[in-house]
Amino acid sequence: MEIIPAIDIRGGRCVRLDQGDYARETVFADDPVEVARRWQELGATRIHVVDLDGARDGIPHNEAVVWRVIEAVSIPVQVGGGNRTLDVIDRYVQSGADRVAIGTAAVKDQTLLVNALAMFGDRIFVGVDARDGMVATDGWLETSEMRALDLIGQLSELGVRRIFYTDISRDGMLGGPNFPAIHEVVEHAAGLASPMAVIASGGVSEVEHIRRLKLIGVEGVIIGKALYTGALDLKAALAAAR
């Protein structure tokens, strides 16, 4: 199982939001590039970078900063936030992003998703963000009327092979993941005609959380705030995942 440190960028700086609330922001570093290098030096094998401004507004705002992160490290970087046109996705792929995440567009513009999959294959993965089991979009500012499990079924039919699942109520709160929901998602994704790998995100703050997620069968775990506050040591997290 892979441990994936998160770098959330807003206004060019490395920040974390509580439950995705843009009014509840903590700045952890002025230079996301330095943060990426630190995670690599500590043993990370992949980094998850999100343009929070892009996720909210639907267009990249921190693209140049993300490019700098990709250039600064030798490990794979996956990029999310505001990837709602083929041009944007292509620019990230050309800049060296290993994977590009589609979130809101996977709900609101599935033609884009289908075309992106045709062009970029497994370099495309989808963020499924849920609030009380319902899909949230637009930087988590809107909640749709679609169940997360129903969306996951649609994504499989469209050819998606990997998702990352976030329970918004747990994100940035250090209170532990929503294990029952993640277990349900993993079982559902594995039982589809075209199974999908699941990466878990949100709430991980203890080594024991990682051990439980490994038993559930997730492919990876995205960790943010716990690493920045020191609640969880990256080396300990990597050891628990092995």
| Across 228-237, average pLDDT | 96
Count CA within 13 A, CB hemisphere, residue 170.
25
The predicted pLDDT at position 172 comes to 57
129 is known as an active-site residue: yes
31 is known as an active-site residue: no
In the chain, where the domains are located = 2-241
pLDDT tier, 20 (very low <50, low <70, confident <90, very high otherwise): low
CB of 57 closer than 8 Å to CB of 84:
no
Q: Which of 8, 51, 167, 171 is an active site residue?
A: 8
The predicted pLDDT at position 132 comes to 84
Whole-number Cα distances in Å, 25 to 9, 173, 228 = 11, 12, 13
Q: Which of 8-17, 55-64, 208-217 has the highest mean pLDDT?
A: 208-217
Question: Percent of the chain having pLDDT more than 90?
Answer: 79
Structure tokens at 221: 């775990």
The predicted pLDDT at position 149 comes to 95
Amino acid, single-letter form, for residue 179: F
Mean pLDDT of the chain: 93
Say whether pLDDT at 122 is over 80.
Answer: yes
Nearest C-alpha neighbor of 126 from the set 150, 151, 90: 151
pLDDT in tens, 146-203: 899 999 999 999 999 999 999 887 655 566 899 999 999 999 999 999 999 999 998 9
CA angle 128, 234, 164 (to 5 degrees): 10
Lowest-confidence region among 24-33, 39-48, 112-121, 231-240: 24-33
CATH of domain 2-241: 3.20.20.70
Rounded distance, CA 129 to CA 143, Å? 9
pLDDT tier, 139 (very low <50, low <70, confident <90, very high otherwise): low
Rounded distance, CA 4 to CA 27, Å? 20
Nearest C-alpha neighbor of 44 from the set 73, 67, 65: 73
| Across 201-207, average pLDDT | 93
Q: Helix crossing, 207-216 with 234-241: angle to 10°?
A: 30
Question: Percent of the chain having pLDDT more than 70?
Answer: 96
pLDDT in tens, 62-104: 999 999 999 999 999 999 999 999 999 999 999 999 999 999 8
Q: Which of 51, 129, 167, 171 is an active site residue?
A: 129
The predicted pLDDT at position 144 comes to 75
What phi and psi, each to the nearest 5 degrees, are found at residue 46?
-165, 150
pTM above 0.75?
yes
Structure tokens at 54: 């892009």
Q: Which residue do the tokens 């089991």 mark?
A: 133
Lowest-confidence region among 116-120, 200-204, 208-212: 200-204
